[in-house]
Structure 1
Amino acid sequence: MCRHLAYLGPEEPLGRLLVTPPHGLYRQSWAPRRQRYGTVNADGFGVGWYAPGDPVPARYRRAGPIWADQSFADLARVVRTTALLAAVRDATLSGADAEAAAAPFASGPWLFSHNGAVKGWPRSLAPLTETLPAADLLAMEARNDSAFVWALVLARLRAGDEEGQALADTVLEVAEAAPGSRLNLLLTNGESIAATAWGDTLWYLASPGRSTVVASEPYDDDPHWQEVPDRTLLAASGTDVLLTPLKEPSTEPPKEPRT
């Protein structure tokens, strides 16, 4: 369980997107307004952002609560970007890995976050390990469900899938293996945003032709925030937002072929 946010638009200081809003991600770490599971997101945080001319994002992650990190307050005041992904974490299971378990996860141009929990982790997804190369499993940053879901998404991206397709197929695969999982995924490459609403809240604020924010919950009371329906894939650029329904995996056994 966590809260996360992605932004595309004109250059802004990190703090104006994460700290300054009255109900921004900074405040959501201790007082989220719409979080359905858990109450405090104090098990780590992270932000990834893109610098002009560099397609590979920078990251700043810590194992503790965002409000206790004075270095981040300074960084957020002066670092500016046109694209970011940030998250505050409420760990599903306590354990090791420290900041390595905090989103955003990253590879190449991509930043990724998972808001939710995989039902029955880790046993429920054990069969899916066979779909990944051994090197990908050994390279996982952390030993939690979010890191494994990221490995599944990343394998699809490396195989050439578009961002939205990679998220949708991963959600359906995990939901089939572990029914009852909450799988709000968020992905950006610095030029577009893909996200899923699957078991928790997701909202977006779009200023067509200017900026797009996709977040677990609104960071202010602007009436233009739109809620994303559950079981939906969101694909956004700086100019538009597209919503596509996702179909729940069938739980019925396959029918016997006719003879």
Structure 2
Amino acid sequence: MCRWLSYLGPETYFDRLLYEPQYSLVQQALAARKSISTTQGDGFGLGWYGDHPDPGLYREALPAWNDRNLRSLARQLRARLFFAHVRASTGTDTARSNCHPFAHDKWLFMHNGQIGGYARLRRRLEAKIPDALYPLRAGTTDSETAFYLLFRHDPDADPAAAIRAMLADIEAERLGASIDEPLRFTAALSDGRRIVAVRYASDDRPPSLYWREDDGAVIIVSEPLDGDGQRWNRVPRNHFLVTAPDQGVTLRPIAM
């Protein structure tokens, strides 16, 4: 399983979260504490919003701890909204095209988890991707498939509703194919202004997801960045977390 974090708040340098904490994201890539996979060495990626409506991306297939460019960039880059992700493959190639985050137009997306039985479902799910977007698909992951499935459901109108409908698409195909392997899913989606995160599982074992408010910022993580558990709040199973500037955090259940 992968590890990721998202940040929304006053402009900050990336290395404040990627390197400085005791259990920073790069440290989690080496030794995750709340993941099935201890090491997340199959690539990494950054996505951020600057002066343009579409996000910037930096993705690489190297392990995060072994890329000097990442350390240098993290020291210099700063943003008010950014995503970071370290990848542990669930069967697809270690390649830049399979690294998160994924971007289209103003949207940025990253994921941790697995679509149960994806090898059997891949053709069915890819057939649901809108024709205009299918040529943009560059990799082979279930995560990228899920991202493009969102655009069947107009995320501009309601991003949380689009995520819920995308999960329903996947669940319908999984159950229709009599696949017993569960769908386990945490993800973050942004349009450059707000972040919608989700923690979902079709069984009782969703991937971990936490959040905290810190000096006017909201930080959402796969696992806490320090040992102070009281500072971090667990996102409940099968819930959305929504945050936007000056609006704090809202949690609401996923009505499937």
State if a TM-score over 0.5 links the two structures.
yes
Q: Which has the larger radius of gyration?
A: 1
CA distance in structure 2 between the aligned counterparts of 1:231 and 1:67, rounded to whole angstroms: 32
For 1:251, the equivalent position in structure 2 comes to none
With the length of structure 1 as denominator, give the TM-score of the two structures. 0.88
Does 2:191 align with 1:194? no
Change (3 A) 1:108 1:41: same
* Aligned equivalents of 1:12, 1:48: Cα separation in 2: 14
What is the CA–CA distance in structure 2 between the aligned matches of 1:6 and 1:33, rounded to whole Å?
Answer: 18
Check whether the contact 1:6–1:188 (CA below 8 A) recurs between aligned residues: no
Q: How does 1:31-180 map to 2 (within 5 A)?
A: 31-35=31-35, 37-51=36-50, 53-95=51-93, 98-157=95-154, 160-178=156-174, 180=182
Match of 1:232 in 2: 239
Structure 2 gap segments, 5+ residues each: 176-181, 201-205
Hey, which bits of structure 1, 4+ residues long, moved more than 6 A? none
Please tell me whether the aligned partners of residues 167 and 195 of structure 1 are also in contact (alpha carbons under 8 angstroms). Answer: no
Shift of 1:247: 4.0
Q: Which amino acid aligns with 2:157?
A: D
Classify 1:247/1:163 alpha carbon distance in 2 versus 1 (closer, same or farther; 3 Å).
closer
SS at match of 2:79: strand
Match of 1:76, SS state, is helix
Q: Using a 3 Å threshold, how does the CA distance of structure 1 residues 12 and 122 change in structure 2: closer, same or farther?
A: same
Aligned equivalent of 1:241, options 245, 249, 254: 249
* CA RMSD between the two structures: 1.8
Going from structure 1 to structure 2, the CA distance change for 1:169 and 1:99 (only over 3 Å counts) comes to same
Matched residue count: 243
Amino acid at match of 1:87: H
What SS does structure 2 have at the residue aligned with 1:122? helix
Structure 1, unmatched stretches of 5+, are: 249-259
Name the % identity.
32
CA distance in 1, matches of 2:222, 2:189: 13
Moved more, 184-193 or 124-133: 124-133
